[in-house]
Structure 1
Amino acid sequence: MFVGFFGSLPKSIAQSSSPAAIKGTWVTNVASDALISRDHIRQTVSRAKQAGLNTLFVVVWNGGYTLYPSLVQQQYIGIRQHPEFAGRDPLREIIEEGHRANLKVHAWFEFGFSYAYKDTNSLWLKRYPTWCGRNVKGELLQKNGFYWWNALHPGPQQLLQSMILEVVKNYDIDGIQGDDRLPAMPAEGGYDAYTRAAYQQAFNGASLPENPKDKSFLKWKADQLSSYAAKIYQAVKKEKPACIVSWAPSIYPWSLEEYLQDWPTWLKGGYADLVIPQLYRYNIEAYTTILKQLRSQVPDSLLEKVVPGILTSLGDGYQADVSLMEKMVQLNRSLGFKGEVFFYYETINRIPFSLYKD
């Protein structure tokens, strides 16, 4: 028996959102069995539907592999698909099951411009060493265990665009999404040979600043990623105008200062159908602070395009309690946000409640 998640909320909040408002969750292949079989996918869809959700953001690129069979990836590294999913197409399966339940399904390119996690023997590194990002010491660009390509390099840019368009063309997908790794790169990057030459050409032979977060250098790098976001948006819309393009970056200005994600520019520039900032906090006080900050950054005319991302579970066992989630959703509504996206799907497995019920 499912317990009504909104039972204690004012009726106006429970009924305030329009049918178009995003009520979503991220579905990943890490610390979750949601995608390991067709039966599990059916269960994932069923539980999301029972919980009152209407949108699934499903991982399609993680750990340096696509989860779906990809001819693009095969052309680059000779491997068609993540080995754990060989012989199946979990993306096609969840689209079919999701649409049968009237849920929207978006392809989430989670790994973005990273190519490996705690792995210095990556096949991508061996095949395409010139793509790799470098820090000021000339070392491989690594942050929090993730190894990163140079996101300014045309090689990985073309790879990711080709994979995105492969999904848009070949699947009945409702949207595509980049997150805090697409388009993104740790601000410490930019010291590889390609970027060094590009910088010298742009600035009359000037040497790279020794400080990777030098204000003008950081802006120069971020502006190129903003241009890439626009390029992806335009390419997707040319192929399938109805396909939603969303970005799920970190909070601003941290997103810009640490990962070169100037997402307010993307939003105001018109190359974001949705922006879902990751407002990941563990208590209502901290959440209130960053939600109010977010609201101040978004013009009223663009508010409907911004959807808070809420941390509700982690693979290490963290689980937000229902009362905290209630307060977060209530606060979202009070500040004019009509929906939210929960990280991540296992929340629904751990606590059998029903979201968004009157």
Structure 2
Amino acid sequence: MAKVEIRGVWLPTTDSKVFNSRENIAQAMDFLAQTGFNVVFPVVWNKGATMYPSQLMHQTFNTEINPQFVGRDPLAEVVTEARRVGLKIIPWFEYGFASSYNLNGGQLLAKKPEWTARDSQGNLLKKNGFEWLNALDPEVQDFMLNIILEVVKNYDVDGIQGDDRLPAFPSEGGYDRETQERYRQQFGENPPKNFKDGRWLQWRADILTEFLARLYQEVKAINSNLLISITPNIHDWAYKEYLQDSPTWLKRGLVDMIHPQIYRRDFLSYKSIIDKLVNEQFTDNTLSKLAPGILMKIGSYHISSEHLLQAIEYNRGCGIYGEIFFFYEGLRQENNALAEVLRKSPYAQSAVFPSLSDLNQGRVSKKTSSIGQRLLRFLKNIV
């Protein structure tokens, strides 16, 4: 019986040349299929632009596609080449509700200043270099939803993916006039200046959760087999900092796959977060949805083969059947060293990408047995 696992990798534009040509895309898809991967997550929305010719962007901002790719359709090229080698494709809306990075709002807010998110001082909301659209604004939500639906309607994809910016919003935000008025109408008082006030946090997080519920419903109405994949930051830091209420998303069945960004640079730190997720956030019925995000490369950092193998082995021991790597170029460094590690060991046997029913049925018996195995290992260690 074939293995059923999620083996994914992100394809960004930053620090990568995959999208620079159709030939590069074809070579990357060949390489991933040969290495044992079964799903790719190509970026499709970042820096205030799409990676495909967008009628909606043309109508709203007079910019059809990322200027680097005018005359091409990189998303269509990825779809064709991925399908050729049997890979699933789930477009990744990297920037989500962020408008720009260190560009004072960029082209989106230059043309739609009424979409600007505000902090408690009334300034443009900025966090970690990113400037933000007002994710709590119904018009902004409509725009984001329609960008996603445009992809779903026009491309042969297997789902869509949001991340730590979709659905998300820095907890410092929400102090625009309209949002404050909505809060006043409900509670009879102004939002607190303390942006981490409990009720204020939950009220804004609930607005994002309802957006996700609408997104889920509208995507499924187009094709019920399309997957909703979200890669949030780790709970509950993500809730307090970016209003991402992932336990509620799981409880309400608003995600088909979830990939917390466990971007830790040593195995013990990774392990401690996995233990917390498995024991506190995920149940027997939702564990099958979990495929953690693992940091393979960023800047000068490059994961060691030992850490890579330990993380995958620990995932399987905990009843977690999959992971996604950030990002593709990490596989190609040092003459494809990490790709060779995967080919020779954990990905030596091919794996079938899970069906929607696989993701929704849970893995009760596997989780139970894995806990028993972990207990035995623990007992052996203390004897």
Query: What TM-score does the superposition give when structure 1 sets the normalisation length?
Result: 0.93
| 1:30 aligned partner | 14
Q: Specify the code of the residue in structure 1 equivalent to 2:3.
A: S
Equivalent residue runs for 1:195-210 within 5 Å? 195-204=179-188, 206-210=189-193
Which residue of 250, 259, 274 corresponds with 1:291?
Answer: 274
Q: Does 1:99 align with 2:83?
A: yes
Q: CA separation in 1, counterparts of 2:273 and 2:107?
A: 39
Q: How many residues align?
A: 340
Q: 1:7 corresponds to which residue?
A: none
Residues 1:178 and 2:169 are matched in the alignment: no
Q: Which amino acid in 1 is paired with 2:71?
A: G
Name the SS for the 1:164 alignment partner. Answer: helix
Q: Which amino acid is 2:160 matched to?
A: I
Counterparts of 2:3 and 2:119, CA distance in 1: 46
* Residue 124 in structure 1 maps to residue 116 in structure 2: no
Equivalent residue for 2:68? 84
Q: Distance in 2 between the 1:125 and 1:164 partners?
A: 19
Deviation at 1:33, TM superposition (A): 0.4
- The structure in which a higher percent of residues are helix is 2
1:1-358 equivalent positions in 2, closer than 5 A: 18-19=3-4, 21-120=5-104, 122-204=106-188, 206-296=189-279, 297-314=281-298, 316-351=299-334, 352=336, 353-354=339-340, 355=342, 356-357=347-348
Give % identity. Answer: 42
Asked if the contact 2:174/2:180 (under 8 Å) is kept, the reply is yes
Contact 1:47 1:348 in 2 (8 A): no
Question: 2:292 is aligned with what amino acid?
Answer: P
Q: Does the CA-based 8 Å contact 1:279-1:309 persist in structure 2?
A: yes
Deviation for aligned residue 1:121: 5.9
CA distance in 2, matches of 1:348, 1:219: 40
Report the Cα distance in structure 2 between the residues aligned to 1:272 and 1:34, rounded to whole angstroms.
28
Q: Write the letter of the residue equivalent to 1:289.
A: S
Secondary structure, aligned partner of 1:25: strand
**Contiguous gaps of at least 5 residues in structure 2:** 350-383
Q: Normalising to structure 2: TM-score of the pair?
A: 0.87
SS class of match (1:116): strand
Q: Does the 8 A contact of 2:99 with 2:105 survive in 1? A: no
Output the amino acid matched with 2:37: L
Contact 2:134–2:140 (CA under 8 A) maintained in structure 1:
yes
Is 1:246–1:273's contact at 8 Å kept on the other side of the alignment? yes
Moved more, 223-232 or 122-131: 122-131
Taking the aligned partners of 2:94 and 2:106, their CA distance within structure 1 comes to: 18
Q: Tell whether the 8 Å contact from 1:48 to 1:348 is kept in structure 2 after alignment.
A: no
Unpaired runs of 5+ residues, structure 1, are 1-14
RMSD: 1.2
